[in-house]
Structure 1
Amino acid sequence: MKTKKKNVIAIILGGGQGSRLFPLTARRSKPAVPIGGKYRLVDIPISNCINSDIYKMFVLTQFNSASLNAHIKNTYNFGFFSNSFVDILAAEQTPDNPTWFQGTADAVRQCMPHFLNHEFDYALILSGDQLYQMDFNEMIEAHIEAEADITIATLPVNDKDAPEFGILKTNSESCIESFIEKPAKELLPDWTSEVSDEMKSQGKHYLASMGIYIFNRKLLIELMSDTETKDFGKEIIPQAVGSKKLLSYQYEGYWTDIGNIDSFFEANIGLTDDIPQFNLFDNDNRIYTRPRLLSPSKFHNTLVERSLISEGCIIHSKEITKSVIGNRSRIGEGTVIQHSYVMGNDLYQSIEDIRENIENNIPLIGIGERCFIHNAIVDKNCRIGNDVYIKGGKHLQDIVTELYCVKEGIVVIRKGAIIPNGFTVK
């Protein structure tokens, strides 16, 4: 049974410019990037908090935050008679802080006056660009029981993945004795920690920081008084090893960092698996998002296999296989969608708009007729004409154009792009 933790605030870090997720972040911040057809990335940490009975949340943002602000405002309203909230804290210049956020710790430091307006004993610091389901109560209880100063959520990883993370070494009581940022592979034999037998059987002997932290209020205030430290992973945590009691809380469930186009794409396509690692159909771990009053999706002569179809779609396509289709998607006759993420549209075109577009040879919002789209991401509100052929894959070189980008073989059609009839990427 979950225990309410009224003395915890959650601080969700929105990240910086999000250049590795470009072009999805060209007009929006990372936490606002659509995922799973109907959600935004920020819905994941917020939902984990709500499912863990944590109802006081701050989201720290700096770049392209307008759509994120609108999403949170339209989604998370806990009522007039509740102390619960999800507040956006955008970077602001003040007499004491004339600069923008310089790192994760600096973002928390600059927002401390807002946090201190609330009573809390523990601060839970989360990332806004990760996909996972975790009961934070268990982590908080472990932190309290161990009388730790800082608790870090850790994930067992193998020797292939370890050099991409901050790696921790723990003692028999799960206390962190040393830390190294992105170790070279030849150093790994000295950085094994005790993990479960199941993790050992998978070759996962190293504990990676997940970028999820619990700080005691007093220590957080103390650490944030040092204006020289800018980042948790690179400075705060390594400097605290040996001088503070750091606890490792091992998490063995599904977790992925949505840091680049490749990981974002695979996380979305992974949702179409028969038994996906990230479960959208869990009564106890619901993913919350903006409720939309959309009609059911409509199909006409379409074969759909292992795909997620969101609300309000009008689909006449020939085939949709292992793909995620977002809200209000319109897909024309004879079109084939394979291994792709179509984000959908923010609105429907009126009959008058459709007639005018047809008269002027302008593609309609959505995907036209007789198209073939494979290994691609189609961002929101795109107009893709008829007979368009897009086949992503490792045979394609990375490229950035006004209409689309290619990253790691994935073709990303940019938000609002107008793709003419017969356009080809192959």
Structure 2
Amino acid sequence: MTEQPHVSRLACPDHRVATILLAGGKGTRLHDLTVAESKPAVPFAGRNRIVDFAMANVIRSGLDRLVVATQFAPATLHHHLPACWGRHFAGGAMVLRDGRDRYLGTADAVRHNWQQIEDWQVDHVLVVAADHIYDMDYGALIAAHRASGAAVTVAVDVVPLAQASGFGVMHADANGRILSFLEKPAIPPAIPGEPDRAMVSMGIYVFDAGWLKDALFGRGIEALDFGHEVIPAAVAQDVAMAYRLPAGRSGRPYWRDVGTLEALRQSHMDFAAAQPARLPRISPTSEWYLARGSVMMPGAVVPPSARLTCTIVAPGTRIPQGLVVGEDPDEDARWFRCEGRTVLVTQAMLDRREAMRVPAILSAGSGAALHPRDVA
């Protein structure tokens, strides 16, 4: 049975907003963890999943009209979301839509689900990604959007300028009006007055429903993606505003795109360090944090004799007695997947290691030299 994350509703239901949760990401940079699972379905802090962060934010923001647009490997999400979160939508609706072989981009996913938005007769549409780790009150974002009079408001975070090239970067004036939007620029613009930092899109948008309908259906060129087409169009029309992520319960803003193994492990470490004021309003559901900065995913078994440093142990992996990981980069790279300081260990990798070690041990018994690491 799926355990229920802790979440508290902080706002009265806002029936004038439809939320579209984009949950179809393949997450190829998470490698073995997303071969058969979508990125939003990857486990986090025990039996929670990455998608639960966005879901907790939706619930506590009082939003109860939700379309979940899935695509790659949707089965887990189609089971997990109703089981874990369905009871929170008793007064509204949570609609899951399988978009395999249909959605051609983020904006196209919303286009395919537009009839549901029309049926709800809402004034605004909130679009959020399901694969980020963050704590946010969408209600405050929506209120700021309404007060601004803009057609589009983009939620933004601030990152060091040296890291900004991996994001969509905003350049805004002192009032928050977006002057330019650059998707992963080689030379990102700095924030005025903050030369070492840049303002980047969080992939969270609030639209006036009428403007978005026109953007999706009323143009000569069919928009497929928000970052590449829809948001630049809003900026060109001078109707886009930026909303800077405020501090959360931890006392500081927190948002992380866990698109890499290193980012995923580090987010676990941040989550563990946030006691007792956790970053989002979900709680760990099993023993998942190991010493030395390592993470054990559901179904994994790690004996006390093993020594793992900066390691992600994939679901269902059984670590052998005495295994040492994270101390010898050359040895780690021989058997496991390494990224920065992070080492991913899966059962398939361990099986391959065992299969290759046995012939080496047998050969050593016949007189060949045996490397100490072959008997580890």
Aligned to 1:341: 295
Aligned to 2:168: 166
Residues 1:106 and 1:421: Cα distance change in structure 2 (over 3 Å): same
Name the CA distance, whole Å, in 2 between partners of 1:79 and 1:237.
Answer: 31
* Count of aligned pairs: 341
**Contact 1:394-1:409 within 8 A present in 2 as well:** no
**Against the structure 1 CA distance between its residues 407 and 136, is the aligned structure 2 distance closer, same or farther, given a 3 Å change threshold?**
same
Q: For residue 144 of structure 1, what is the aligned residue in structure 2? A: 146
Give, in whole Å, the separation in 1 of the partners of 2:331 and 2:137: 41
Following the alignment from structure 1 to structure 2, what is the Cα–Cα distance between the partners of residues 394 and 15?
34
Deviations 1:60-106 (A, max 9, x none): 111111111111121112279x33333221115xxxxxx53221111
Letter in 2 for 1:411: V
The 5 A counterparts of 1:145-224 are 145-185=147-187, 188=189, 191-193=190-192, 200=194, 205-224=197-216
1:17-60, CA deviations, whole angstroms, 9 ceiling, x for partnerless residues?
21011111112111111112231111101101111111222221
- The code of the aligned residue for 1:127 comes to A
> Any idea what SS the aligned residue of 2:33 has?
coil
Q: Following TM superposition, by how much is the alpha carbon of 1:108 offset from its aligned partner in structure 2, in angstroms?
A: 1.3
Matched with 2:96 is 88
**Partner of 2:120: helix, strand, or coil?**
coil
Instruction: Kindly report the root-mean-square deviation, in angstroms, between the aligned alpha carbons of the 2 structures.
Output: 3.0
Aligned to 1:47: 56
Equivalent residues of 2:18, 2:122 under 8 A apart: yes
Distance apart, 1:122 and its partner CA: 0.8
Q: Does structure 1 retain, via aligned residues, the 8 Å contact 2:13–2:64?
A: no
Q: Is 1:241 paired with 2:235? A: yes
CA–CA separation in structure 2 for the residues paired with 1:114 and 1:393: 54
Structure 1 residues 207 and 368, CA gap change in structure 2 (3 angstroms): closer
Question: Residue 264 in 1 paired to residue 264 in 2?
Answer: yes
Amino acid of the residue matched to residue 414 of structure 1? Answer: T
1:407 aligned residue = 339
Deviation at 1:206, TM superposition (A): 2.6
> How far apart are the structure 1 equivalents of 2:337 and 2:147?
49
Cα distance in 2 between the residues matched to 1:163 and 1:16: 21
| 1:19-418 matches, cutoff 5 A | 19-78=28-87, 82-91=90-99, 99-185=101-187, 188=189, 191-193=190-192, 200=194, 205-225=197-217, 226=219, 228-252=222-246, 253-273=253-273, 275=274, 279-280=277-278, 286-287=281-282, 310-311=285-286, 324=289, 337-345=291-299, 366-368=301-303, 370-391=305-326, 404-414=336-346
**Which structure has greater helix proportion?**
2
Give identity over the alignment, percent. 27
Which structure has more relative contact order (CA 8 Å, sep 6+)? It is 2
Q: Does the C-alpha gap of structure 1 residues 409 and 205 become closer, same or farther in structure 2, counting only changes over 3 Å?
A: closer
CA distance in 2, matches of 1:174, 1:45: 24
Structure 1 residue identity aligned to 2:343:
V
Deviation per residue, 1:276-297 (Å, 9 max, x gap): 6x9427xxx6227xxxxxxxxx
Distance 1:260 1:205, change over 3 A: closer
Shift of residue 214, structure 1, vs aligned partner: 0.3
TM-fit CA distance, 1:418:
6.0
Shift of 1:267: 0.6
Name the CA shift for 1:74/1:205 in 2 (closer, same or farther; >3 Å): same
Q: Supply the AA of the counterpart residue of 2:39.
A: K
Secondary structure of 1:265's aligned partner: helix
| Residues 1:398 and 1:115: Cα distance change in structure 2 (over 3 Å) | farther
CA contact (8 A) 2:59 2:88 kept: no
Q: TM-score, normalised by structure 1?
A: 0.72
SS of aligned partner of 1:87? strand
Note if contact 2:24-2:74 (Cα within 8 Å) is conserved in structure 1.
no
Letter in 2 for 1:178: S
Shift in CA distance, 7/393, structure 1 to aligned 2, threshold 3 Å: farther
SS at match of 2:96: strand
Once the 2 structures are TM-superposed, how far is the Cα of residue 393 of structure 1 from its aligned partner? Answer: 6.6
CA distance in 2, matches of 1:64, 1:177: 38
CA shift digits 1:235-255 (9 cap, x unpaired): 111122131511111114111
Letter in 2 for 1:237: I
Structure 1 residues 79 and 216: alpha-carbon distance in aligned structure 2, compared to 1, 3 A threshold: closer
**Structure 1's 391 and 205: CA in aligned 2 closer, same or farther, altered over 3 A?**
closer
The answer on whether the counterparts of 1:368 and 1:384 sit within 8 Å (CA) in structure 2 is: yes
Give the deviation of 1:118 after TM superposition.
1.8
Q: Structure 1: which 5+ runs fail to align? A: 93-98, 195-199, 289-308, 314-322, 326-336, 346-364
CA distance in 1, matches of 2:333, 2:23: 27
| CA distance 1:15–1:260, shift in 2 (3 Å) | farther
Counterpart code for 1:324 = Y
After TM superposition, the score normalised by the length of structure 2 is 0.80
